[in-house]
A and B are shown apart, each in its own frame.
Chain A
């Protein structure tokens, strides 16, 4: 089955700096790659996603890149703010109705 690896597990950045989180996946049939932000005790909140027919997607300070050949995708957060502090998860899926496999998570701390 699908295996999603995520790095780093923790990331500390200074406010205003950029944060980058990387994920690799194993199943070349995967075609949907969402990123979630989760705060303690809350549900995962979708912040951006990308599908396999696109190489890059941007939404204000957040961007995601996808390299299908290498089977990895990355989350980029620019101009980080303290409210960006949370746990971020990458995930992968290969079709509607198929399970979503999560990476191990990255705890991001933005220091003011």
Chain B
């Protein structure tokens, strides 16, 4: 089945630094990648949708200059948290749309636990 590899699984960084999270589709081409953030005991909240070769579409309230998304190839999408602050500490997870037509679905990366100190 479709597999998305997400790295790193956990990262600790200092306030003010930037962190890059990568999601790679291993056995399929991910035209669309979705980036979610999940706070403890909360649901997954969509941050942005990225399409290969075009600018990401951000959800209302998500700062596009802070959360930089790049989807330069059909197998790699990255999320960079710039000038991270403690309030950015969260679980970030990517998801790729798979299949087409009436048989589509989604596959998730394993998530990245970001802690900003």
Q: Which residues of A contact B99 (CB under 8 A)?
A: 96
Give the interface segment out of A13-21, A38-46, A69-77, A78-86: A38-46
Q: Give bound CA distance, A42 to B32, whole Å.
A: 22
Give the interface segment out of B13-21, B41-49, B62-70, B78-86: B41-49
User: In chain B, residues 8-54, which have Cβ atoms closer than 8 Å to a Cβ of chain A?
Assistant: 31-32, 34, 41-46, 49
How many chain A residues touch B (CB < 8 A): the figure is 24
Q: Which residues of B contact A102 (CB under 8 A)?
A: 43-45
Q: Which residues of A contact B97 (CB under 8 A)?
A: 96-98
Main secondary structure of the interface of A (DSSP, over half): loop
> Does A99 lie within 8 Å of B49, measured CB to CB?
yes
Q: Which residues of A contact B7 (CB under 8 A)?
A: none
Q: Contact partner of B46 among A32, A101, A105, A107, CB < 8 A? A: A101
14 residue pairs of the A-B complex, CB under 8 angstroms, read: A34-B105, A41-B113, A44-B108, A89-B43, A93-B104, A93-B106, A96-B101, A97-B104, A99-B34, A100-B46, A100-B106, A102-B45, A103-B43, A105-B42
Considering only CB atoms, which chain A residue lies closest to B60 in the complex?
A1
> Does A96 lie within 8 Å of B100, measured CB to CB?
yes
- Cβ of A22 within 8 Å of any chain B Cβ, yes or no, is no
> Does B113 lie within 8 Å of A100, measured CB to CB?
no
> Does B34 lie within 8 Å of A41, measured CB to CB?
no
